[in-house]
Amino acid sequence: MNLVSAPLGTIARDNFGRPVDSLRVSVTLRCNHSCVFCHMEGIKGGSKLKELSPGDYGFLSSSLRKLGVRNYKLTGGEPLIRRDIVDIISEIRPKAYEVSIVTNGSLLKHYAKGLAEAGLDRMNVSLHSLREEVFNKITGGRLKPVLEGIDEALNYGHIIKLDYVFLRWNSQEFRSLIDYATQKGLDINIIELIPIGMDQEKYSELVASVDPVMSYLERISVRIEVNPFQNRPIYYLPQGNKAIVIKGYGNPYLCAGCTRLRMTPDGKFKTCIFINNNLVSAWDHIKNRDEEGLKQAFLEAVKRREPYFKFVNKKNDLGGKT
């Protein structure tokens, strides 16, 4: 039976009524960039963590489909560091509605064809500056391979969204990055920095409010909507592409709309990027092809989920203070 047409199971809900139909999977913590703001998805353990195989991900996605999980976002580290990344996507794709990937783009030129053949639905490519020296200062990498990778991916028909982390170092580039996205026909995420993976001094040095960008987008947009997923504001630009603003820190509205569970490279379910002491291991269940054990681990993780930032003293209270 082709699992992509198999019935989708009933979607699990946490104790705050939020459905969980999406899994953000860190397939590795290895990376070839050294971004100043890197938080490794809030995962501890470093690049030496053991990693699941493509077949493991096939079993995972087949089992979790029966619990309503339909969307997978693969991230890292840098997922294209894994030479078997195309095989991973090929394993997951028949059991999912959508498979996407988050990449720094440095290896994209090499993998664009294989990702298309594997059925990847869309990708997020990090692009934090269009100035070589600023790009290198932020990422430790080179700008040219990323731009070439974007062009190559577009040649193979990939749907691309840019990820632009808004910092003091690149805050003056928001118009040029929005214009670049528009010229290429791409949507763009404008992401406010979150204080994970750095000390307070570094965070204070880097952080910048995205409010001026939002004011600019409000002036130029033809329409503004709110995405139910994490209640992200979407600005429809005159040329037809979109800008999405992501304010993940201190934002109970984002938490209220979060429908995503996370997984570490070593097969642990993680309830929130900000929480690292409430993991549920599924490694043995996956390796032993124990579907029932895997499903119970998933449901236990869903049960443990709670909004990290909560409304206080409001009708739509999600449970009190953080």
Q: What is the DSSP string of 145-199?
A: HHHHHHHHHHHTT--EEEEEEEBTTTGGGHHHHHHHHHHHT-EEEEEE---SSS-
Amino acid at 257: G
Amino acid at 296: Q
Helix H or strand E encompassing 86: helix 85-92
Q: Is the predicted pLDDT of residue 318 greater than 50, yes or no? A: no
How would residue 296 be classed by pLDDT, with cut points 50, 70 and 90? very high
**Predicted local confidence at residue 8, as pLDDT:** 82
pLDDT digits (tens, 9 = 90+) for 8-46: 889 999 999 999 999 999 999 999 999 999 999 989 877
Whole-angstrom distance, CA of residue 89 vs CA of residue 72? 10
Whole-angstrom distance, CA of residue 302 vs CA of residue 12? 7
Q: Is the predicted pLDDT of residue 51 greater than 70, yes or no? A: yes
Give the residue from 87, 140, 144, 76 showing the smallest Cα distance to 111.
87
**Predicted local confidence at residue 321, as pLDDT:** 35
How many CB atoms are closer than 10 A to CB 294? Answer: 24
**Predicted local confidence at residue 122, as pLDDT:** 98
Q: Which two tokens stand for residue 225?
A: 């909507």
Whole-angstrom distance, CA of residue 288 vs CA of residue 52? 12
Mean pLDDT of 305-312: 91
- Tokens 């995503």 — which residue? 260
pLDDT digits (tens, 9 = 90+) for 224-283: 999 989 999 999 999 999 999 999 889 999 999 999 999 999 999 999 999 988 899 999
**Predicted local confidence at residue 45, as pLDDT:** 79
Mean pLDDT of 309-313: 82
Q: Is the predicted pLDDT of residue 5 greater than 80, yes or no? A: no
Q: 57 CB contacts (<8 Å, ≥6 apart)?
A: 25, 27, 88, 91, 92
Q: What are phi and psi of 96, to 5 degrees?
A: -130, 160
Domains of the chain by start residue, with CATH: 20-304 (3.20.20.70)
Q: Angle, nearest 10°, between helix axes 54-65 and 85-92?
A: 20
Averaged pLDDT score across all residues of the chain: 93
List the Cα angle 94/76/20 in 5-degree steps.
55
Per this entry, what is the length of the chain?
322
pLDDT digits (tens, 9 = 90+) for 76-131: 999 999 999 999 999 999 999 999 999 999 999 999 999 999 999 999 999 999 99
Q: Which two tokens stand for residue 11?
A: 């979607």
**Predicted local confidence at residue 320, as pLDDT:** 37
Calculate the dihedral angle through the C-alpha atoms of 44, 50, 55, 60, rounding to the nearest 10 degrees.
-30
**Predicted local confidence at residue 6, as pLDDT:** 60
Contact present, 197 and 40 (Cβ < 8 Å): yes
**Predicted local confidence at residue 313, as pLDDT:** 57
